[in-house]
Amino acid sequence: MKNHLIRIALLVLVSSCATDSWEAIEYQAPRADEPVSFEKQVAPIFQARCASAGCHDGTVVGVSSFLTYEEIQADVDLIRTNVLYGYMPPVDPMGADSIQIIADWIDQGALNN
Whether 77 is covered by a domain: the verdict is yes
Sign of CA dihedral 51, 96, 76, 17: positive
Number of domains in the chain: 1
Global confidence as pTM: 0.72
Whether 22 is covered by a domain: the verdict is yes
Tens digits of residue pLDDT in 1-49: 555 444 544 444 444 344 344 455 555 655 667 899 999 999 999 999 9
Domain around 64: 2-107
Tens digits of residue pLDDT in 32-91: 678 999 999 999 999 999 988 788 999 988 899 999 999 999 999 999 999 999 999 988
Whether 36 is covered by a domain: the verdict is yes
Whether 112 is covered by a domain: the verdict is no
**CA distances for 39 relative to 17, 36, 68, 71, 111, angstroms:** 29, 9, 10, 14, 10
Residues near 36 by beta carbon (within 8 Å), at least 6 away in sequence: 30, 42, 101, 104, 105, 108
Whether 113 is covered by a domain: the verdict is no
